Structure 1
Amino acid sequence: MELEQVTPLLDKLQNMVSTANQAISSHNNTVSNIATEKKNLISQVWRFVVSELADDLTLYQQKKERLNQIVQGMEKSLQDKQKDRKDLRDQIKELEKKTTSIQPTIAAINDLLQRFGFHSFQLGESDDDRHYQIVRENGEDASRSLSEGEKTFITFLYFYYLIRGAQTPSGITSNRVVVFDDPISSLDSDILYIVSSLIKGVMEEVRSEAGQIKQVFLLTHNVYFHKEITFNQKRPADQALKEESFWLVKKLQHGSVVERCEANPIRSAYELLWEDVKSASLSSISLQNTLRRILENYFTMWGGMGKDEVCALFDGRDKLVCQSLFSWVNDGSHSIHDDLYINHGEKTNETYLRVFRDIFDKAGQLGHYEMMVGEQATLAEEA
C-alpha cells in the first residue's frame, strides 16, 4: 500500500476553518455595531438611488431654480405695486382735502345762482376762511335779513353740495342714500323750479349709476312739486319705471297707513281728492271735508251753481246732509257745523257718498262723476 500525504488536506481544512472564523468575526462586529452599520447601509442605498436618478434630479433642480426666480420677480413686483398704491392713496388724500375745502363749494353755489338768475344773495368767505358768509348783491351781510324761503333755499343748497362731497376727507368717496323731506316749504315759484331741477339732476345720476348716490327718497305733500319732480316722458301712464316706486301716506282716525301705487298716483289736486273718494279707508270727517272741496271746485268755481240751487234738489234728511257738504260756503272747508252735523252711526260714509253721487245725478253731471270714480251707471241706477 502506498499512503498519500494528508498535508494538503489539512491545509485546505485549515483554510476553510480560518474563512469561517473570519465570517463569524465580521458578523459579530456587525451585530455589535448595528447602529453604525445601519447608517452605512442607508447611505449606500441613497448613493445608489442618486446615481440611478441623476438625470431626473438634475431636471428637478433646474425647474426649482426657475420657479424660485419667478417667485422672487413676483415678490418684487408686488412690492412695487404696494408702493404705487401708497402713493396713489396719498394723492387721493390731497385731492380730498382740496374737495372738502369751502372755496369750491362757494364758487359752485354762486355759479348755480347766477345761471338760474337768482340775485337776492350769494355766498362769500368769512374772516376765518373756514365758514360761509351770506351777502346781498351790494356786499351787505344777509344772515339776519333772510326770509323764511331764502333760509330754506340756502339750507337746501348746502345739503345739495354736501351729498356730493363730505364733511371730512375720509368719507368723500363713500356710497350714500339721500332723503329729501319736503324741500320746498315756504319757497316761491322761481326757487321751487330751481330746487326741482337740482333734485331731478340727482335722480338722473342715480339712474345712470354715475356717482356715490345709490338711492333717493323724496317726501312731499305739495301736489305741484310732485308733478314737477316726477315728470318723465318715458314713463307709461299705467305703471312706474323699473327703477322707481310711488307711495302714499294716508292719515286715518287712529294712525297712518302707507300704500304702494303701481303707477304715479298724482295728476292734480282735484284728481287726488277723487282718489280719496274711491278709497274706503277715510274717516267720516276726513271724507266730508274731501267731498266739500270737490263740490266747491266743480259746482261753484267751475260751474257757477250756488249751494241753494243744489240743495233745493233734495228733501228731508238728504237735504241736511247736502247742506252739511256745502257748509264750506260760510265757514271754509276745514270747519264743521255743529247744527248741520248728521250722526248716521256706522253708515256715515255710505250716506255722504250716496248724497254726493245724487248731487251730480240731480244736477245733470252724473257723467263727470262716473268718469272720476271710473264706473258706468247701469240702467237701473239711472231709473
Structure 2
Amino acid sequence: MDEDADQSADAVTSEQYRDVAGHFASGVTVISTREGADLYGTTASAVSSLSLDPPMMLMCLNVSSVTHDAVMRAGVFGISILAAGQDHLAYHFGRRGPDKFASVPHRLGSGAVPVLDGALATVVCEVESTARGGTHTVFLGRVREAETSAREPLAYYRGKLGRLADSAERNAYEEVRSAILHRRTPLGEAIDVDALAGTVGAEPAQVRNALISLTGEDLVTRSDDGSLEPTPITAQVVADNYQARLRIEVGVLESQLATMSGEVKDKLVEIGDAIARVRAENPDGLEEYLQLNVDYHSVLVGSSGSEQLVASFRKLGIGTVWRQGLTGDEWAAELDNRHIAELTGAVLSGDLARAEGALRRHSDVASALAARVIGRAGGVV
C-alpha cells in the first residue's frame, strides 16, 4: 500500500466513519447462546448471509461483550432477526445485565440455543471459524436450523429503529430539522419546499410532513398567508428550553445515578475529555464542540433506557444560537466545559446533590450567555 493511501485512511476519524456506516440500512438481530444453564444474548446489526452451499452465516460481536465470550466457549450461536414492533427487545438486549431471557418469551432451538418468540426469522449456527478485526470478532457459522414467520422486519438506519417504510420519512425529518436549525432556510422568508427537498435529498411530500411536525416543536411557524417560515429563537425560548432540559436530566440522575453502569460513566469521561480537548486545541471546532455536547447529554439521558426521553431531550437543543451568534474566533472564550467536568466528577463519585448543582449552574450560565448572544444579534437568531 502506498504512503498516500495510508494517510487517506488515517484521515477518517471514528466519528466520520460512524456517520457514514449509519447510512447503511440493516436489519436488527439478537445473538444468543447457551452455556450450561446460563443463557446469553446481545443486540447486533453486523450479521449477514455468507454462503448457500453449505448454508453459512456471518456475524460480528464486540470482544468486550459477555455474549462474545460465551459464544467463543460454547461454539454455537442463535440469530433472532427482529420483527417490526420488537424495538423493545433491541434495547433490552443492548443493555448489560444478568439473565436477559428471564422476562422474554423464547424457545430452545437446535443445541438448546435460545431464540426469541415472534422474531421475523431465527437461525442456529455452529461456529466453524473466527477472525479478529479491530474491536470485533467475526464468527463464521454453519447453519443447523432456520425458520421464518410472516412478519415485517425491524430496520436500523442512522441510529434509529423502525419499519423500512418509516426510515425514509424519519431521515427526511432529521435532515429538514437540521436545515432549519442551521438556518439554511433564512429567517423571515417562506420555505421553498421543492428547493429544500432537493437540498436534503427527500421527496417534497416528506419535506412537507417534516415541516408540519416541526410546527409542533415551534421550530417552524405558519404565516397568515399559509406559508411556513423558520421560527425566530429568542432569549425566552432558550431559557424555557434550558429549564425543560434541566428537568429531564435531574429526573434521570435521581432515578439512575445510584445504579448507573460503569459503561455509561466511562463514556461520559471519554466525551467530557474530548470536549475539553476540542475547546483547548481546535479554534475551528465549534461544530465538533456542539456535537460532542449533544453526545454527552444524550448518553446521560440515555442511561434511563428510554429512547423517547432521549428524543425529547434532543429536540430542546439550542445549537442554532451558538452557530448564529458566535464568530469562529470567539466561541471557545464564550463557551466552556467547567460544568461538564464538574458533572462528570459528581457522577463518578455518585454524589447526586453535587451533580444536580452542576446541572443547575450549567443551565443558568448557558441561559445568561445565550441571552447576551441573542441580544447582540438583534434579539432573535
Alignment TM-score > 0.5, same fold: no
Q: TM-score, normalised by structure 1?
A: 0.21
Q: TM-score, normalised by structure 2?
A: 0.22
Which of the two has higher C-alpha Rg?
A: 1
More helix by share: 1
More strand by share: 2
Larger RCO (CA under 8 A, 6+ residues apart): 2
